[in-house]
Amino acid sequence: MGNNLIKKILAKKLGHEVKVGEIIYIEPDLVMTHDHQGPMTIREFENIGADSLWNPDKVILVMDHRTPSQTLVAVENHQKLRKFARKYGVTKFFDVGEGVCHDLVAEKALVRPEMVYIATDSHTVTEGALGLFATGVGSSEMASIFATGKVWLKIPETIKVTLKGTLQKGVYGKDIALRLLEIIKTGGADYKVLEFGGAGIASVSAASRMSLCNMCLEMGAKTAIFPVDKVTVEYYKEKGVEVQELYPDEDGEYISEIIVDLDQLEPLIAFPFSPDNVRSVSQIGDEVYALNQSVIGTCTGARYEDLKVAAEILKGKQVRPGTRMLIVPATKDLMLRCTQEGIIETFLKAGAMVNVPCCGPCGGYGMAVLAEDESSITTGSRNFVARMGAPGAHIYLSNAATAAASAIEGKLTDPRKYLSDS
Amino acid sequence: MNKSLNGKAFKFGDDVDTGQIIPGKYVVLTDPNELASHVFEDVAPEFKGKVEMGDIIIAGKNFGTGSSREHAPKAIKFSGISAVIAKSFARIFYRNAINIGLFAITLPQVDEIKENDQITINLNEGKVINHTQGKEYKFDLPHKVMLDIFAEGGIIPFTKKELNLK
Ligand code: SF4
């Protein structure tokens, strides 16, 4: 039996073939921690008592969760991390305002195909979109990697996800993720890899792939991965980086296959209180789900394609009075581009608020918090109880187009009627 | 490993996420005792007052889903809990639990265990004993790489030893 993508990448790096279920020890090509798990990581690193990092050039620190400097404790944590970076020679340091970690490492082309990338964040799996092995660990384990430069991994089983057809108007990677959540359910892919393939992937942008891989974590996946195809090669080419295409073997090893027909896929929404509680926008019918808030932000829906379609929908329209809208671009460079292209102006004229790049609204971190009887649509990845504030608050997850259209109407709305056919 | 864990059972349902274990607003903290003082604050505020050293959490499927915050298993451990027995775990929570020295095992029969039942986990024999109901269950020990880490008290003491640091 041949290699799937993960086995292929790990075998190449180790210099020998690997078997599913086998335990390997490996040196990551890059690791990352941020201002949420970073303070605990450096505390535990100090508990180990090592006097240096195994390789400061392979360590990335990002200040994104509690930014900009939300509280006294948060700002003290940022101070600690800055000091740590200076003391141990970490130069890949992204300070307050630069953007959300998973977007930054891709935007700056730090993560590359075929790498092993480990970070203290569950959504590290996002980076699999670019054809690498990316997964999350906790702070103590990262502290141990900081000191030793190695991590143990069990070679996981892989589920093949074949995409056929073409993504339709108003439908994005987020909707593929929600469809898969509906099929697989939360925890349904525990410890497994979701590997994407099929002719349909050509219509899925790198941005959409990142949102999709990100949310595979909600299914319990150890990671998710796309082949390195023309879309990925083009993504890196625009950054002046050359990468080689990479595909699994024809007879790659999979435990099952799921087929998603993109031609049939509609914009989807996850209802409270689980990302797998999914309905399509067209199924909502006459029931009115009124919204106090609409959020476009986080690492699952605030990239260029998301903000662009949101601006297309909001242009010349107004956010409905009584509904607040918050837009948080994923990175500073993206925010600059959107400013130059008039996208930010469109948002402000439509009555939306625009905040500096950060995780903020994803988990009620200092903004977009909900009261007990309120509800919000968001491009975030989680709608668990109390994720955005009060335990009773309702969170609906959608793509950016749906969040924009819903802001105009003040209720859950199908975005397709706001999009031209071209 | 010659060890047994003893305590009364605290029952939880399916999909208990890390935000329910320790709300996001406390993730800025790093002191484990401070974290423990907020464990299950939103969803089971009575838990903190009832838990005693050694007690055991019995949960449904997908325990510890959500963020990678090690704050969650730490808040549980430092509240006095010695182990979590669940139908299944979210991957990072499970790894974190062992890495910080909180024992965690999966057991399909968790529904049979009732709140307050007296439980012993015998790590030597791989057995869960329910004294209240007079029942015993076999369980699969975590993989040896994890047991070795757990036996040292977690990945920090394990790494210290590996690097010969005091
Ligand atoms: S935006 Fe949300 S999911 Fe993404 S890294 Fe930040 S907190 Fe995590």
For residue A72, the chain B residue with the least C-alpha distance is B28
Q: Which of A133, A155, A222, A115 is nearest to A17 (CA)?
A: A155
Summarised one tens digit per residue, pLDDT across range A342-382 is 999 999 999 999 999 999 999 999 999 999 999 999 999 99
- Interchain CB contact of A275 with B (< 8 Å): no
| Joined tokens for residue B111 | 């529904």
Distance CA A293, CA A351 (A): 12
Q: Say how far apart CA A68 and CA A74 lie, in whole Å.
A: 9
Predicted pLDDT at B2 = 59
Among B17, B30, B159, the residue with its CB nearest the CB of A48 is B159
What is the rounded CA–CA span in Å between residue A189 and residue A194? 8
pLDDT at A22: 96
Q: Can you list the domains of chain A with their CATH numbers?
A: 23-153 (3.30.499.10), 155-265 (3.40.1060.10), 269-415 (3.30.499.10)
In this structure, are residues A329 and A357 in contact, taking their beta carbons and an 8 Å threshold? yes
Grade residue A183 by pLDDT with cuts at 50, 70 and 90. Answer: very high
Which pLDDT does position B1 carry in this prediction? 62
Q: What is the pLDDT of residue A260?
A: 98
Return the residue matching tokens 């090690």: B70
Give the containing element (helix H, strand E) for A239.
none
**Centroid of ligand 1 to alpha carbon of A277 (angstroms):** 20
| Statement: residue A187 has pLDDT above 80 | yes
Domains of chain B, CATH where assigned: 4-162 (3.20.19.10)
pLDDT attached to residue A20: 97
Alpha-carbon distance of B98 to B151, in angstroms, equals: 9
* pLDDT at site A422: 58
Question: Residue A93 — pLDDT band, cuts 50, 70, 90?
Answer: very high
Give the Å distance between the CA of B79 and the centre of ligand 1: 27
Position A227 confidence tier, pLDDT thresholds 50, 70, 90: very high
Q: Does B100 touch chain A (CB under 8 A)?
A: yes
Instruction: Map tokens 């980076």 to a residue.
Output: A127
Between CA B114 and CA B10 the distance in angstroms is 8
Beta bridge partners, A134, equal: A117
- At residue A125, the pLDDT reads 98
Distance CA A399, CA A207 (A): 12
In A9-125, at which residue ranges do the beta strands (DSSP E only) sit? 23-26, 30-34, 59-62, 92-94, 116-119
Whether the model clears a pTM of 0.90, i.e. scores above it, the answer is yes
Nearest chain A CA: its distance from B34 CA (Å): 13
pLDDT tens digit string along B61-77? 999 999 999 999 999 99
Query: What is the Cα–Cα distance from B122 to B139, expressed in whole angstroms?
Result: 10
Angle subtended at Cα A36 by Cα A30 and Cα A38, rounded to the nearest 5 degrees: 50
Chain segment A6-45, per-residue pLDDT in tens: 999 999 999 999 999 999 999 999 999 999 999 999 999 9
Q: B44 at the A interface (CB within 8 A)? A: no
Cα–Cα distance, A167 to A176 (Å, whole number): 9
Provide, rounded to the nearest whole percent, the portion of chain A with pLDDT above 90: 96
